[in-house]
Structure 1
Amino acid sequence: MSAVNVQQMAARVAELFEARLNVGGRTLAEKLRRGGRRLPRRVRREAAYLAEVAQQAQIPRLMVQIDHARAAHAYDACLRYLRPIGASERRRALALQVLTGVGAAVFMTGLLVILVLAWRGYV
């Protein structure tokens, strides 16, 4: 993997930051500083590593120290989170989120109240 590849990976993640999170800035590090709090901790950590590696790749002596497998892993993690998803997938994820955890308890309680009201003839 060369310095150009690392720079391209950082540029692609920076583009996705701008497209998905509406975060401005010139470099990935700047976009991460402005909008990093909107990301989960593990994705933020991977994006920070990728930004650090992109800065190191500009210096030929530091290019040797870059762990290319780790950089590729960080790039993949950022892409998995930032890739655009369709409207149907977004709705399905929201429905799944509502039906699991605390949302499920609230949903089931509301459904139970409506069923009792209908059974008693109030609805």
Structure 2
Amino acid sequence: MDNGLNHKIAEISTLMRSQLRIRGRDLHVQYRRAGRLLPRAVRRDILYLLDTSALGDNPKLARMINHDKISRAHRNIVDYLQGLDPKAQMWTRILNITASIAFALIVAFAVTLFVLVQRGFI
């Protein structure tokens, strides 16, 4: 396998660990754990890099590797991952949880009020 490809895969793995907080022994495990946290284009690029790394193990198949496409895929993945803000994602997650709890409380209050009105207590 090409040493430059190994370096690119290691860089992406490190970025996924730092930006998305996804742990795993290699990029393939991290890719599976990331799931829909990544856009479709980024997932496709990661799969291309993983498939290409498997081709690089065989000397005859290594000639089929398109280095321009590898560079493009690497650049797209790195640009996306570096553009993420882990703190903003955390706050968004906290706000979403808080909003869903508030919505559930409002619905429970409205149902309780409706039942009380229907029974004639209010």
TM-score by shorter chain over 0.5: yes
1:55 and 2:28 correspond = no
RMSD: 2.3
SS of alignment partner, residue 60 of structure 1: coil
Q: What is the distance in 2 between the residues matched to 1:26 and 1:86?
A: 23
Q: 1:93-122: per-residue Cα shift (whole Å, max 9, x none)?
A: x9xxxxxxxxxxxxxxxxxxxxxxxxxxxx
Over alpha carbons, which structure has the higher Rg?
A: 2
Counterpart contact for 1:7–1:57, Cα < 8 Å: no
Q: Write the mapping of 1:1-123 to structure 2, written as runs, cut at 5 A.
A: 3-83=2-82
Matched residue, 1:114: none
Matched residue, 1:117: none
- State the shift of 1:77 in Å: 0.2
- 67-76 vs 24-33, greater mean Cα deviation: 24-33
User: Number of residue pairs matched?
Assistant: 88
Matched residue, 1:98: none
Q: 1:25-56: per-residue Cα shift (whole Å, max 9, x none)?
A: 12211110111320111111111111211222
Instruction: Please report the TM-score for the alignment, with normalisation by the length of structure 1.
Output: 0.63
Residue type matched to 2:11 in 1?
R
Q: What is the distance in 1 between the residues matched to 2:42 and 2:22?
A: 15
RCO higher in 1 or 2 (8 Å CA, sep ≥ 6)? 2
Counterpart contact for 2:46–2:73, Cα < 8 Å: yes
**Percent identity over paired residues:** 28
Residue type matched to 1:79 in 2?
V
Q: What is the distance in 2 between the residues matched to 1:25 and 1:59?
A: 25
- State the shift of 1:60 in Å: 2.0
